[in-house]
Amino acid sequence: MSRPKEHVVTLTAADRRKLTRLVTSGTHPARMITRARILLALDETAGPAPDRWVVAQQVGVCEGTVYGVAKRFTGSGGDAQAAIGRKKRAEPPVPAKVTGDVEARVIALACTNPPPGYDRWSLRLLEKHVVLTDGIPPLDHSTIGRVLKKGGFVLT
């Protein structure tokens, strides 16, 4: 006896028309068309859908992709557009080290007189002093150079 399907895809008539139009006409991203073809193949309204591996062979993707599209369809509450479209990223994966406050403090440090024994600031010297300054995260000399260049400051 086979397992019951975890994620059953049932499309409305309007969704089916939209997906068919997306697949057959116009220019759309290839992945969007592939996901639409998967949803059309998995649709249970016309009758029992074939197994995932059969759909995967028909569409030309792996079985995991078929499972993922079906899971995303049921997870979005049956919204076909959300299942075939791209997910929007909420925030960057790594927060930026350099904020406006950090930029201002680095530029202010570069505007001061260099330490005794030095004629002028260099990027590597600024890097050493940024580490010693409270409230500024440790920055690489290349990052400091980009901050100064962006601020229109030239080390001379």
pLDDT digits (tens, 9 = 90+) for 51-72: 889 999 999 999 999 999 999 9
Alpha helices for the chain (secondary structure H) = 13-24, 30-42, 52-59, 63-75, 80-84, 100-111, 123-132, 141-150
Q: Tell me the pLDDT tens digit for each residue of 109-127.
A: 999 999 999 999 999 999 9
Q: Which of 7, 80, 15, 84 is nearest to 46 (CA)?
A: 15
> Would you say 40 and 50 are in contact if contact means Cβ atoms under 8 Å apart?
no
Q: Output the six-digit token pair for 17.
A: 């028309």
> Would you say 95 and 137 are in contact if contact means Cβ atoms under 8 Å apart?
no
Q: Output the six-digit token pair for 103.
A: 């930029």
* Beta-ladder partners of 43: 9
Q: Output the six-digit token pair for 33.
A: 């068309």
Total-model pTM: 0.60
